[in-house]
Amino acid sequence: MSADEEIRASSVLPADRRALEIVTGDGLRLIGELALPCAADPEATLVCVHPLPTHGGMMDSHVLRKASWRLPALARIGVLRFNTRGTTSAAGTSEGSFDEARSEGRDLDAAIAVARDHGLPRIWLLGWSFGCDVILKRGPVPGIDGVILVSPALRYTTADELGRWSGAGIPLVCLIPENDDYLQPPEARERFGSVPEAEIVVGEGAGHLWVGEPYVRMVLDEVAGRLTGTGPLPDSWPAARAASEGPMERWSDL
């Protein structure tokens, strides 16, 4: 019998992966992907909004890509990623143009609608940097189960927009890197102090981009724990599961 395989930065675990075309309320076509568990129905759903596209952010930004590679198999979480308007990744370019997290709220609404149209359960939103602004400026979305904000820079979100989340009853889990370039834990506690639902979780040693496998695991463990109570995630793919669900593959950008 084959040995268990260690999960590394390039590991891609089995999932049911579907390319998506997401149509916004103002008629734009966005590029996306939905990754679902292949051995069972998902227990929860993560809709991801990527970092700043004018600085290279896209649906394939490394933490979001690794979420789609691991969470369906390891935590029974469906992962929906998409390129906001005007953003390009290997899968293609979404129509429209960058709008400083304003019109991107329509993109988010459209992605959530796709998740609901697929009958996916317990929808959580995950924003990373710019993606946090998209979610926060959009305001509380009825019917979602929670929000995870990774490295919220609050570049575009005003105090009034943030204040709209107070009393909404939607959990806001704020993953603040200890060494963030924009918003470090003391300032984050102050800025989110007006929102009782906000919980500050410090990523010890992490920077804004969460570069390095230990920091990626911090984010994914937090997601899995919040959404399905699974965590910390295993660091290997068992041979028995590889035999029944499929082998682990290795991604190469070459």
Residue 66, in any domain of the structure: yes
Which tokens sit at 79? 């992962």
In a domain, residue 169? The reply is yes
pLDDT digits (tens, 9 = 90+) for 212-233: 999 999 999 999 999 999 989 9
Based on its alpha-carbon atoms, the radius of gyration of the chain, rounded to whole angstroms, reads 17
CA dist 57 and 77 (Å) reads: 23
154-210 pLDDT tens trace: 999 999 999 999 999 999 999 999 999 999 999 999 999 999 999 999 999 999 999
Let me know if 73 is exposed, middle or buried by CB neighbors in 10 A (0-12, 13-18, 19+).
Answer: buried
Assigned domain for 253 exists: no
Q: Does the pLDDT at position 1 exceed 90?
A: no
pLDDT digit string (tens) for 81-132?
Answer: 999 999 999 999 999 999 999 999 999 999 999 999 999 999 999 999 999 9
Note whether residue 143 is domain-resident.
yes
Q: What is the tally of structural domains in the chain? A: 1
CATH code assigned at 165: 3.40.50.1820
Q: Which domain holds residue 200?
A: 5-246
Beta strands 249-250 and 236-237: pairing type?
A: unpaired
Domain-located, residue 57: yes
0.95 exceeded by the pTM? yes
